Structure 1
């Protein structure tokens, strides 16, 4: 779609409804492959092109820089640069940095405050604990992060600590917070925690940002934690002009404090919220969706939804049990080779999905053994790594 095409063009009814709804808070339950990014970007275009919103008054938040870049690139094809001037499409943490830079003095920081990465933070914790036990250090760092994401201060953490490990972490948390204050530094979690606390405690700052953020869009809402939820609540204020997009079946960050209950909490905190379900899938055939629906049907659910597709029924799903990863990789390579011959297909017609990058090496080796050309999407081939290429070159000489 270009900037000349009408908003909602080519969308299904649910997508169009989610895009055009502006009568209050909106929760879009978007199943996998249902076009949620399109809804978000079209809604941004709708706000700027047809509803009179200025770019600097619209904010869209997501969880990764990659997702933010993709969203920004799509919006650029939909909206003239003049209309989108000042538009913020970023991660929660990037917005937090922006807020802290502008409100440093109100937050008790110097404008030149430092941002510590995970290694810097770990170094401070290591000094405070006087240990090199990595497991112990990771535990303390992790629990401090969870406390910050739950908006718990050191005193709160000390009251909640029960186990000896938690008591130790609470003591370190107090010293860690004091050290950061002395260094005029913040860590990754502070980038959201401090802005949320500042908005809650300072009416002048809160009013300024609520007047600035006239409409807020949040992607992957199921991955928000207590701190992020509170930040959204404080940024949108009584007007509650926001769209939250999420899916309780795709929550993957509970280990770092995310809570899918935030989706249900929206319906409690905002009784008038509009609930729209995106259930049409554009990626998969119906047979795959039926299998996926069956796999997750016993999961505890906040909201019921059933994905469906118009891409046809599709071929039967085959499940093969293998004795090990080598046999698995060899079987996959042979099936690709045989299917190409049987269907008169091209290599580019096939894709192999794996869960973790470390699994690619054995798959690559199996493909190489059958002289099947391939490319690695979103990563680097094991055999293209400099150290591997050097070793292979050396072995060839031998």
Structure 2
């Protein structure tokens, strides 16, 4: 007969949010078990930031998050801020540095963050059950029953920290959404976020050859605008600017890109016309933009005028306008396979924003990526994991 273990809190998921929640609950004297099907905890932490973990952002604020309820994240983010997590990192002696736009990374390895969390769980008396499949979850008298491949757990509180669908090769599933629906919660539309775009079929052959070229751009879509780097790949467009926009993009929408933000390109070309009248406009543009990109833009424009001397001011202005407002309709995105996050999730309407507790089922909590709260690129999603985890851990 399968064993039955009784504990105060069961946390499903040993990721950033789940471990943070377990630490807080354990420190309150609650008995806690964290269950995950993975063989190691914190796998998304381990691979993030090129193995150095972009663990938070100095400028993290509610404005950095997408949700059908844009106010939902405010309470948790204020209750446990990026500065609170940074204090824990410093106390642990983990060296870190700030990159662009407030992004904080470990100087060494992301494994240092994982070790900090697992050590804190151990010190708080948390039991960690890995390589354990979750088979069935239900309500019983006094709380919840969680049946797993290694036995059954009875708990007063149940915390769903199973993440979203992004990066399925790491074991990501929609389990958390299924559990939410089982208990009467609705789930908003889910889709891949912070993910590279793919070329439309009519652009793949000609534009795919720019793979490896990168530049700083100002990119916009559906009212969102980002000033960051863009990278051309064989498959499409990547880099921070494109990953950010992907969270706002819908199939069929166009993306507008200023390929030379902040530059007075028209004045530069007109000045060069007086110095080098026989030179092509696209040659001059190739001295400002990546050369291969300038050549491709010229080919795409079908420009047959080769000499600057033959271009009027109006013609130069028209060429430059196309560079400052380059527009395309992506064919799609690379999907969950390479997405950093899942947009959408458990609807926040029936969840307490201070405790992450279900308003439908007392003792049931949802935290982290499984919820309809998605951060911008740059450490914001980890901060949501820390903040929502702490919020639930203080009440579960």
* TM-score, normalising length: structure 1: 0.28
Higher fraction of helix: 1
Higher fraction of strand: 2
